[in-house]
Structures are given as structure tokens and as C-alpha cells.
């Protein structure tokens, strides 16, 4: 019995209404495409029906919705015989041709198509004829609607028109469903990101609370270990362990960390340490610490957020500690400057006591200098931090500060030690500590004891003078005591610097003033001559002048001073005067 036109129209309208309702209901894309295939099959009488859409790279068409087809057929086509869109393929499937051309493609009888590449699966599924109609969304083709008959069938123009009409509605449904699916995934992603951000903020607040409540770096290590559920180790830039938490056996040893890459975060399969990951902690562009943790199992996205937040909070904690240290360095530096300027001990005793110093004890004055590096200022600050850490273990505490570009330490002398003749113990330890803190630089240390418990200024002046002399003579990278400087060391211990400078000025003052007034270099020539063993030819070579010029300059010096430069006693006198001028900073 033939269906009345009004009944057919109502059936089509009902089917379209069902499609529209399915799309707007937010159903999954696959469910919507299954409904499209079932609707086409019901309205047009196909034995089987399928909807094909491009895969993500748009290289093949994938059966995504179907009605009447077996699951085995769909899986075999999608996996083993995909419908390729590649133009280089010499035999394109009907679906590929319809998709690429935008026009319907029909096969009335597959038996009459010897080149049909899906003959085997078609026989298994049991169809002999098919039609593929493009699904258009605006100017773009977004898929195909395929209909199959188990018998040979010639498709009429009326059938193709009806199929095209349904394809238009199916394309709208596909586009809408695709958009809704994307929106749903986007919403889910946004919800996940919102939840991740919310949890991330909670983690950050949790870590900040640990820091604010005084948990310090050890508390942060314990908190992070609990968050990521694995052992955690925090080391400073030198590789010293600041804190650790969790199973020690799961953490890298000293040798493992020594070869670690401080700039590697998150792991690198080609990195030398595949068992652990490491995250640098930066402060003002400088790596100040590193976080280590076992690589397996991999961290989740939230765990990585926790590590990132921990790195920030550790940086803040180290900045807080550094700020406190800098304030402490400033207070100790001011105290030292007052002492070396001659401020009486009674006036600064209370400040010194609050800082842990006993100024009534004899002290050893140690002066260290960092040379031989472009970043000597930074190296000196590192040395200050390292030596301050060394001094913090002593009671009473040594006074450590930077003064006039040098590291100065007033180290309490042991009770059984004569302050005027200190051993090299503290000085040697200080130089080793400075060298370790400033690799690549040269550290030189001079040491002197104060003759009386409160005479810190004289001890500093003696040690500083020794250091100046040694560095000018090229004697660096060692520990100097007064015994190393012979007669010069004895001069530096004398109690009246004014008398010493007066002696030096009486001896070489005329030469120094001659150089200042006339721009000559008599003092420098004299120093070179003494350093050259009184050999005029060697003096000329070092001074880059003719030997006759050296002779003329030496004669001028003798005329100005009234001294005989060949007399041994005169040479001792001139050498001492030259040394004193150099210590005072007024030598040639």
C-alpha cells in the first residue's frame, strides 16, 4: 500500500524534529550520527546506512554513525581498509569521490565494478549497491551520508533529491552536534582548569602558611613531600643540603647531585640522572637552590603545580633569610668600622654583646682579599656568607664583615695563645672557606694578633699592611703571617705609624715630591731597581728604557737624597722607607 503524501510529509517532519531535538539536547556526537543514519534508513528504505566524517588529520573518512551495519564491518573498514582522501590514491572510494567533488556518487551494482576495493567486505556485509551523498555545512563538505541495498538498485533523480534534502538536515545536525561537543569539551576543560587553579591556590597558600609560621626550608620540604607523595630534597646553589623529607633511600646522594643539571626541570630522558628530576629555584636571576625528587611515578599536573609553587615559596624564604643576613652583615660591618676607626670599646660593647661578640678578649685580625676574577665583588659576597657561616659555629662569635673592599675577621684568640704570635689555624680555615665559596678566584689571607685585648685597630692595620705588601709583590693564594715578611713585618708592628711615615718621608720625600712636581718616575725606577737585584740592565729591561736612562735616574735620586745607592746600609734604609710608603699608599 502506497503511503499518502501527507503521511509521508508528517513522517519526514517528525524525523527532522527528532534530529533537531537530539542535537539541542547535548547528546554525544556519535549518538547523533547514529540517529542520522537510522533516520535515513527509515525514511528512504535503505538496508544499511552510515555517516562518515574526516579524522583529525583529514586523511581518511571514518564511519562514525551507522544503522544496520555490523560492528565487525565498521571496525574492519576503519582499521584495515580506511576510506582515504589522498588525491594520490589511484582508486578512490565512492565516499572519497563524493566528499572531494561535493556531488552524489552512486554504484548500482558492485558486481559491475571490478576495481571496487571493498568487494570483500561488501560481500561479508551483504550489500550490492550504494550511494554516497556529501554533507554540506555552508561551502564546506563535512562528511558523507551513505546508503546501501542488499540488491542491485538504480538510483532515480527523485531518490537523490530526497537523499540530498535529508543530507542537508543531517549536515546541520552534524555541525551543531560537533559544535556542542566542542563546547562541552571546552567547558569540561575549563572546569578542570578552574579546579586545578583552585587547588593550585590552596597549595600555594598552604606552603606560604608553612613559611609564615616559621617552618623554614625544612617545613617546606616536609609539606611538598606530603603534597606530591614522594621524597623531596632541597639543596643550595653550592650543593649543600638545606632540607629533605621522605625516604632518604629514594633521594640522590652527593655524587648523583654533583653532576646534576641545575637548569633541567621536569626530566630529560637524555640527562645523566634518569632516576630523579630537578627543579631550579631562582632569585634575582640567580639559581639559589634546587629541588630534587624521584622521577617515578611521573608527577601529575597538580603535582607539578605544587613543585612550581614550592620553588617560588622556597625562593621567598631564601630571600627573607638573605634580607635578614644582609641586615646582620650591615650591623656587624658598622661595628667593625667603628672599632677600626678608633671608637673606644666601652662605647660599642653593648652592640657587640647583642651580636655575640666579646671585645674584651684578645683577637686575631685576619684580612682576606679576593683577586683574579672579573666578578670579584660577587665572589667577595659569597665569601662573606661562607665565612659568616663558619664563624656562627664559634663562641664567642668572631666578628666578620667587609671593610674597604676586603673581608676582615676579628677572631677570638684561645686563652692559652699569645695574641701577638697567632698560629695559622683560623686564618687557614678562613682562606679555605673563601676559596671554596669563590672558585676561579684567588684568595689571599694575612693574619696578625693584637698586642692588648682591645687593640683591634693595630692588629687590623698590621694584617692589612702585610696583605697589601704581599699582593703588590705577587705573593697571592696563601696565608701570610708577620714572620713571612721579615724586617718589613717588624716595621709593621711598631707602635707609632706617624714616626714611621716621617722616617720614610725624610728618606724618600724629596724623590716623591720631585715625581709629583715634574711628572717623573724616579720612585718607580727605584722600586724596579731594588726588585731587579740592583742590576741596571735588568732594571732597564723591566722599565722599558735604555740603561743610560736608568743610570741618569739613579744619579738624580742620589742627588736628591744625599744617599749612596751602592752602600748596603743605605739600601736597607731605602728598602724600609719604600715599603712604608707603599703600605701607606703613597709609594711609586
Q: Considering only residues 584 and 300, tell me which one the structure prediction assigns the higher pLDDT.
A: 300
**Using omega within 30 degrees of 0 as the cis cutoff, is the peptide bond preceding 297 cis?**
yes
CA-closest candidate to residue 145, choices 219, 94, 212, 72: 94
Write the pLDDT tens digit of every residue in 173-191: 777 766 766 776 767 666 7
pLDDT confidence of residue 233: 94
Grid cell at residue 136: 554540506
What's the Cα-to-Cα distance from 471 to each of 4, 269, 447, rounded to whole Å? Answer: 114, 49, 14
Among the four given CATH numbers 3.30.450.40, 3.10.20.30, 3.40.1160.10, 3.30.2270.10, the one describing domain 5-183: 3.30.450.40
The topology (CATH level 3) of 497-584 is: Arc Repressor Mutant, subunit A (1.10.10)
Over residues 348-359, the pLDDT tens digits come to 889 989 888 988
16: cell is: 527532522
State which CATH number among 3.20.20.140, 1.10.10.10, 3.30.70.270, 1.20.1440.130 fits the domain covering 344-489: 3.30.70.270
Q: Given this chain, do its domains 214-323 and 344-489 carry the same CATH topology?
A: no
Cell of 390: 663558619
Give the three cell numbers for residue 6: 501527507
Mean of pLDDT values over 18-29: 66
Question: What are the domain boundaries of the chain?
Answer: 5-183, 214-323, 344-489, 497-584
- Residue 452 is predicted with a pLDDT of 58
Q: Please give the average per-residue pLDDT across 253-280, as a whole number.
A: 63
| pLDDT of 88 above 70 | no
Q: Is a pLDDT exceeding 50 seen at residue 235?
A: yes
Residue 420 has pLDDT above 60, yes or no: no
Which CATH code for domain 214-323?
Answer: 3.30.450.40
Higher pLDDT, 148 or 376: 148
| Cα(577)–Cα(583) distance, integer angstroms | 10
Amino acid at each position: 500500500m502506497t503511503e499518502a503524501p501527507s503521511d509521508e510529509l508528517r513522517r519526514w517532519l517528525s524525523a527532522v524534529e527528532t534530529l533537531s531535538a537530539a542535537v539541542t539536547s547535548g547528546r554525544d556526537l556519535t549518538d547523533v550520527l547514529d540517529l542520522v543514519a537510522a533516520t535515513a534508513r527509515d525514511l528512504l528504505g535503505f538496508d544499511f546506512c552510515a555517516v562518515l566524517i574526516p579524522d583529525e588529520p583529514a586523511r581518511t573518512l571514518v564511519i562514525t554513525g551507522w544503522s544496520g551495519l555490523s560492528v565487525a564491518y565498521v571496525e574492519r573498514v576503519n582499521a584495515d581498509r580506511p576510506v582515504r582522501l589522498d588525491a594520490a590514491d589511484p582508486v578512490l572510494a565512492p565516499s572519497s569521490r563524493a566528499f572531494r567533488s561535493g556531488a552524489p556518487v552512486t554504484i548500482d551494482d558492485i558486481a559491475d565494478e571490478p576495481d571496487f576495493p571493498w568487494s570483500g567486505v561488501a560481500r561479508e556485509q551483504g550489500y550490492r549497491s550504494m550511494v554516497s551523498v556529501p554533507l554540506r555545512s555552508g561551502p564546506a563538505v563535512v562528511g558523507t551520508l551513505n546508503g546501501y541495498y542488499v540488491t542491485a538498485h538504480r538510483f532515480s533523480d527523485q531518490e537523490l533529491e530526497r537523499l540530498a534534502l535529508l543530507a542537508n538536515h543531517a549536515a546541520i545536525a552534524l555541525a551543531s552536534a560537533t559544535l556542542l561537543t566542542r563546547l562541552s569539551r571546552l567547558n569540561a576543560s575549563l572546569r578542570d582548569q578552574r579546579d586545578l587553579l583552585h587547588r593550585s591556590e590552596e597549595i600555594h597558600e598552604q606552603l606560604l602558611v608553612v613559611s609564615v609560621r616559621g617552618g623554614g626550608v625544612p617545613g617546606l620540604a616536609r609539606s611538598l613531600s606530603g603534597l606530591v607523595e614522594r621524597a623531596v630534597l632541597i639543596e643550595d646553589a653550592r650543593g649543600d643540603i638545606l632540607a629533605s623529607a621522605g625516604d632518604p633511600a629514594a633521594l640522590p646522594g652527593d655524587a648523583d647531585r654533583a653532576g646534576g643539571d641545575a637548569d633541567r626541570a621536569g626530566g630529560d630522558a637524555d640527562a645523566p640522572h634518569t632516576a630523579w628530576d630537578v627543579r631550579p629555584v631562582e632569585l634575582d636571576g640567580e639559581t639559589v637552590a634546587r629541588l630534587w625528587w624521584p622521577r617515578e611515578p611521573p608527577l601529575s599536573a597538580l603535582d607539578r603545580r605544587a613543585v612550581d609553587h614550592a620553588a617560588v615559596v622556597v625562593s621567598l624564604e631564601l630571600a627573607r633569610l638573605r634580607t635578614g643576613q644582609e641586615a646582620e652583615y650591615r650591623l656587624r660591618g658598622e661595628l667593625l668600622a667603628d672599632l677600626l676607626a678608633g671608637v673606644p670599646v666601652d662605647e660599642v660593647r653593648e652592640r657587640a654583646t647583642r651580636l655575640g661578640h666579646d671585645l674584651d678578649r684578645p683577637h686575631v685580625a685576619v684580612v682576606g682579599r679576593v683577586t683574579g676574577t672579573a666578578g670579584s665583588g660577587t665572589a667577595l659576597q659569597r665569601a662573606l656568607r661562607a665565612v659568616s657561616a663558619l664563624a656562627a659555629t664559634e663562641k664567642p662569635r668572631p666578628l666578620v664583615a667587609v671593610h674597604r673592599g676586603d673581608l676582615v675577621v676579628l677572631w677570638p684568640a684561645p686563652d692559652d695563645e699569645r695574641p701577638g704570635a697567632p698560629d695559622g689555624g683560623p686564618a687557614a680555615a678562613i682562606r679555605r672557606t673563601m676559596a671554596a665559596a669563590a672558585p676561579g678566584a684567588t684568595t689571599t689571607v694575612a693574619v696578625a694578633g693584637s698586642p692588648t685585648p682591645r687593640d683591634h685597630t693595630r692588629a687590623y692595620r698590621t694584617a692589612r699592611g702585610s696583605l697589601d705588601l704581599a699582593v703588590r709583590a705577587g705573593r697571592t693564594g696563601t696565608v701570610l703571617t708577620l714572620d713571612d715578611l721579615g724586617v718589613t713585618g717588624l716595621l709593621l708592628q711598631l707602635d707609632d705609624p706617624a714616626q714611621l711615615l716621617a722616617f720614610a718621608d725624610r728618606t724618600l720625600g724629596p724623590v716623591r715630591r720631585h715625581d709629583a712636581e715634574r711628572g717623573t718616575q724616579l720612585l718607580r725606577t727605584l722600586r724596579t731597581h731594588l726588585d731587579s737585584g740592583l742590576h741596571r740592565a735588568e732594571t732597564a729591561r723591566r722599565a722599558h728604557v735604555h740603561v743610560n736612562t736608568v743610570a741618569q735616574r739613579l744619579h738624580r735620586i742620589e742627588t736628591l737624597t744625599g744617599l749612596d745607592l751602592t752602600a748596603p746600609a743605605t739600601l736597607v734604609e731605602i728598602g724600609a722607607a719604600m715599603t712604608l710608603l707603599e703600605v701607606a699608599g703613597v709609594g711609586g
